[in-house]
Amino acid sequence: MELKVQAASRMDGIVKAPPSKSYTHRAFIMAFLAEGTSKINDPLYSDDTMASLNSCKALGSKVEKHSSYCEITGINGKPSTPDNVLDLKNSGTTLRILTSIATLTDGYTVLTGDKSLRTRPMQDILSALKPLGVTAFSTKNNGKPPIIIKGGFKGGETTINGNVSSQFISSILMASPYAETPVHLNVKDKFISRPYVEMTVELMEKFNVKVEYEREKKSFHIDPQIYRSTDYTVEGDYSSASYLIAAAASLNSEVTIKNLMKNSKQGDKLILDIVEDMGSEVNVKNNEVKIYGQGRLNGVEVNLKNAPDLLPTVAALGAMAKGTTYITGVEHARFKETDRIHTCAIELAKLGVSVTEKDDGLIIRGGVHGGVVKSHMDHRLAMAFYIIGLKVGNVVIEDASVYNVSFPDFPEIIEKLIAGTGK
């Protein structure tokens, strides 16, 4: 779908942030692993999270999907061997987490997905699982999907690189309670996106699993345990809300976004500090955020090591700002749906932005105009370019409907805020 975005002068209103994609993935899969029936309230139903939910069903769970909640009857750590190859579409989170979960079956599981997903590097988790008694390998012997996993998770001690994807760490942690023996996981080198792993640990504890976490040593220990069913409500998503926050910051605005928790463990909460540093007024309460945009932004220096998904959002803000924006610490963003450093650079250049691509980020000199850009089938790029369109007008985004991956009603919410009817 091609989407043309026209300039808006103002945004006003009150909206609810979409549910967290990261928490929804984890809640679905922990409920699937648990003993008993869990109720997941206010989940996100998007292309990505449905890949996880459908996989839970294929692995033996009973799922009752409702508009405002989802009931999942767990398999008590004993998933069935799926009848077919699991097509995970474009969901990297599902791929990485299920690589460890599939070790709990008594057969073989094949994980694959679309063209983009089949480019995702997986060798680090495959190598880390081997000392734990797991047999898992790439069908093409290139460390990328399709991945075949043989059932069997003995346990023991292993080490994993922390500088590619925090989801590898979350994956091993989430499966470890059902290993035959205790699991001890050490993280070496940089520990990127640490807040996402701490989010995983927090949610495991809500499902009654205890994780011993030595933060300074970057190590985790999990004894054999059982996930217990629970009622859990998914909080709002700072990653998706970042586009609403960025839009409000770039225009004259008074926008309130509900369901964003002040004490959230989400790393992308950093967006609030970023837009405040760029010149917007931000008011944070216990469960909502209010943005007062002045229509003017200043360049900033920001390290996104723990919030790599903010790269497209901050790149868009930098393009609209006065002065220069320096984004660093996101070399791991090259392994997302696209090489986000490169795709942001080449598409922003089409809009007249002076941008320099670095190994770990971007240097952006503010100044942008309309034009035609490609989403590269990356939901975060599509929404970031939409924000630029609201500021300068006449931005055409090719393959824009990919926003359904994480924020299905994104354009509708933006239009309500432009009309001053957001609620």
273 in a known ligand binding site: no
Rounded distance between C-alpha atoms, residue 8 and residue 31, angstroms: 43
165 in a known ligand binding site: yes
92 in a known ligand binding site: yes
With CA atoms as reference, report the closest residue to 328 among 362, 278, 365: 362
Beta strand residue intervals within 60-182, DSSP E = 62-65, 69-73, 86-87, 108-112, 135-138, 147-150, 156-161
21 in a known ligand binding site: yes
Active-site position among 189, 309, 339, 378: 309
Tell me the longest C-alpha to C-alpha distance in the chain.
Answer: 60
22 in a known ligand binding site: yes
309 in a known ligand binding site: yes
215 in a known ligand binding site: no
340 in a known ligand binding site: yes
118 in a known ligand binding site: no
**For residues 266 and 238, is the Cβ–Cβ distance under 8 A?**
yes
- Computed on alpha carbons and rounded to an integer, the radius of gyration of the chain in Å comes to 21
Rounded distance between C-alpha atoms, residue 260 and residue 336, angstroms: 25
Rounded distance between C-alpha atoms, residue 101 and residue 178, angstroms: 9
Alpha helices (H) along 251-364: 270-277, 311-320, 340-350
Residues contacting 54, CB < 8 A, separation 6+: none
305 in a known ligand binding site: no
Q: Is 237 an active-site residue?
A: no
120 in a known ligand binding site: yes
Binding-site residue set for 3-phosphoshikimate: 21-22, 26, 165-167, 193, 309, 336
Binding-site residue set: 21-22, 26, 92, 120, 165-167, 193, 309, 336, 340, 380
Binding-site residue set for phosphoenolpyruvate: 21, 92, 120, 167, 340, 380
Tell me the catalytic residues: 309
